[in-house]
Structure 1
């Protein structure tokens, strides 16, 4: 009985592994590669890509206010310009991602549209460790000026001409960034995301959004390939063990020699005098 339960448990684990979502290399491409825009700016172009090529069967979706809409939905300014690209007018922002027909998802990209006097130009897509990144504090009107930069509500310092350079970024540079000037209030906050340079995805201006590391992908693929073999082997062994365990035992009874009875009789004889 215990063997049967073990077999069922192994089979269930394998089914769960085989039915788990596949790690996707598809990502959302954003052009221009920025998170903050002034209201009324030129539209932003979005597409789903896989290793730099358009990914078939994937849809760009936007989530805002708890509602999710597909690119090209009727009556929405979140429209499709062809089979590969979507655009949205910069009246409202949201969180954008790519979703496949089977439910796989890419990393999410947050884009905000601001009516404030200043915005922070910060990459929408993750940057690779070891790369150099420049943030720009950009006013709606006029030229850039000396600006103050903030990460996670802590002032990092000031940069001339509205620039803040991050050299050889690492994980510690991740966080929510914003900026302000002597005459402009604080900009909206946006998160800088950093990925290890070993990540399979690129950090170019409009590359795919980084996915989980290749080692994780390989592990999942190996499990998917190896698991059915393990399940079949375990089930076969359990059936064999169960069959062997149910084989009736042969009972053997050996009779004692006659001489043994004589000895016993001699021992138990009583003598009366």
Structure 2
């Protein structure tokens, strides 16, 4: 097998075997990134706001990938949802199908402190759209919200009962936390922001509920991802064919039009 053919085969194998990211996304209820230990969250795999059949909620623990409902202690099915009891210090989940396609991941910070002063920051687990508003609160284990200092990308405001971020932009992405005068301090969590879908197909895919331009974007993204693969594959094939034809032409340079060896004829003539 020619070197170029071997290279082409290797590229094809890598492309076919590598996991791909799908338009399917995890849906979380409640949509909170921080929870207290012992809390349960509802996770499902959705596409265009509808439950995706054949997709499973998964996590990695101890170096092993586990399926919800299949691994001991990892979730139970309730309708289309997987009910998961999250454990400290953090948990990460995603959706995956039988072919290896994976969704984006969603992570939770778990507050294990059982003291009355323990608090969590109410911050969305899923990305938020630009232009929307988010209300951050500092909540105790008993469910009560308390006045707190809100730490926003290194700066602090407060104390106040809540912090409202209006008309969110990409600049609002970063780490957030809260703390109280009683000594309670929440973990840090990252606020993720996605562009609002305004001019299809240039707007990115967002979490449900979907908009009509998201379907157009998916097609655009697939074209952007796979066109370079098609072009590179075509170039490799073209190079391989050119090399093989070049080697064939070199082999034919020593033959006359009747297929006889010209070099042999000249040598015989000289001997006479």
Q: TM-score range by the shorter chain?
A: 0.7 to 0.9
Structure 1 residues 65 and 111: alpha-carbon distance in aligned structure 2, compared to 1, 3 A threshold: farther
Distance 2:223 2:46 in 1: 20
Contact between 2:49 and 2:208, CA under 8 Å: does it hold in 1?
A: no
Q: CA deviation at 1:80?
A: 1.4
Aligned to 2:19: 21
Select the residue among 36, 39, 44 that pairs with 1:38: 36
Contact between 1:48 and 1:55, CA under 8 Å: does it hold in 2?
A: yes
Please give the TM-score of this superposition, normalised by the length of structure 1: 0.73
Q: Give the 3-state SS of the residue equivalent to 1:187 in structure 2.
A: coil
1:134-153 to 2 correspondences below 5 Å: 134-141=135-142, 143-152=144-153
1:76 aligns with 2:73: yes
1:155 aligns with 2:152: no
1:106 aligns with 2:107: no
Q: RMSD across aligned C-alpha pairs, in angstroms?
A: 3.4
Contact between 2:48 and 2:208, CA under 8 Å: does it hold in 1?
A: no
Distance 1:172 1:44 in 2: 29
Q: Give the 3-state SS of the residue equivalent to 2:252 in structure 1.
A: coil
Distance 1:113 1:74 in 2: 21
CA shift digits 1:43-94 (9 cap, x unpaired)? 3211111222222222112334555432113642621123x31002356552
CA shift digits 1:116-171 (9 cap, x unpaired)? 4211111001122333222111223475343211145x23312632x112233333
- Range moving further from structure 2, 135-144 or 6-15: 6-15
Unaligned ranges ≥5, structure 1:
255-273
Q: Which has the larger radius of gyration?
A: 1
Contact between 2:41 and 2:84, CA under 8 Å: does it hold in 1?
A: yes
Q: Which has the higher contact order (CA 8 A, sep 6+)?
A: 1
Distance 2:208 2:160 in 1: 26
